[in-house]
Amino acid sequence: MNTELPEALRALAERTPPPAAPVEELVRRGRRTRRTRAAALGGAVVAASVAVTGVALVPDAPDTVAPPALISSSDPVTTFKVNATYTLNQKGRTPHVERYVGAFDSAHHTGYLRGTQEVRLFGKDGYVKRGKWKKVNDLFDAVTRGTLSPADLNADSRAVLRALGGKVVRVNATTFTVTAPARPVAAGLAAGKRIEATLVLDPATKRLKKITQTTVLTGPEPAIADRTPVHFVAEIELSAYGTPVVLPNS
């Protein structure tokens, strides 16, 4: 049988004439699959990590000597320390979590985060240290993905609620929930469309103590469906209002 079997298998296989190879269809499906993965993973999972994001999205960012010094004042409303946790959840994958500490001066829209990597933010752009410092354009958009960044926050919860926009629900004296449209981000970035935010105030001072923002990232190409959406959660705790932003030794 061993000698007859190959011949018999060949005859069986050749009884069905192969259909024409759908080369164009396969290339089109392959491109779509590649783009979907890029949108869901490359543009989201990598992107959502605070520091990794900027570098990953701008891989050719030239090395630079050092970021400029932060301009900061001591203000009881706009300068503070932060603990930030960014989490990416995608079905079938282990959640990706990055934790950072830092300090911000939102009056100057500037500050730093230290954790997995060191990030310094200036206006819309910023610097990421990965061995050497790299300047990254639109770093704020890459970090926030349509949510508010630490540099958009301050002690005045009403100002933060105005910045978020959308519908505000007062849960109790110190907790508010907001459903708001996401802020626009730079072209080509995966970002959320709607933000679900919870603001918690300090009961004694009524200053903003913590903000949790959740959104679902969608790729920059709306025509491409994402079967496994990435849920992005940004938790930012604010403390030590009035402390000037002092850069740590790097």
CB of 41 to another protein, least distance (A): 12
Does 132 interact with another protein (rule: CB under 8 A)? no
Q: Which is nearer to another protein, 23 or 246 (CB)?
A: 23
User: For residue 59, what are its two tokens?
Assistant: 């891989």
Calpha distance 85→52 (Å, rounded): 14
Which residue's CB is nearer to another protein, number 21 or number 204?
A: 21
From the number of C-beta atoms within 10 Å of its C-beta (0-12, 13-18, 19+), residue 106 rates as: buried
Q: Is 2 one of the binding residues for another protein (CB under 8 A)?
A: yes
> By CB under 8 A, what part of segment 17-76 binds another protein?
18-19, 21-23, 25-27, 29-31, 33-34, 37
For the bound state, the minimum distance from the C-beta of residue 98 to another protein, rounded and expressed in Å, comes to 27
CA contacts within 13 A on the Cβ side of 55: 18
Structure tokens at 38: 């890029």
Contact between 1 and another protein (CB under 8 A)? yes
Instruction: Examine residue 131 and tell whether it contacts another protein (CB under 8 A).
Output: no
Part of the chain binding another protein (CB under 8 A), chosen from 12-20, 130-138, 158-166, 230-238: 12-20
Shortest approach of another protein to residue 152 CB, angstroms? 37
Site size with another protein, rule: CB under 8 A: 26
Nearer to another protein, 27 or 97 (CB): 27
State the nearest-atom distance from the C-beta of 227 to another protein, in Å: 13
**Could you say whether residue 13 binds another protein (CB under 8 A)?**
yes
Stretch that binds another protein, among 16-24, 50-58, 191-199, 209-217 (CB under 8 A): 16-24
Instruction: Report if residue 228 touches another protein, rule: CB under 8 A.
Output: no
Nearer to another protein (CB atom), residue 13 or residue 187: 13
Question: Where along the sequence are the contacts to another protein (CB under 8 A)?
Answer: 1-2, 5-6, 8-10, 12-16, 18-19, 21-23, 25-27, 29-31, 33-34, 37
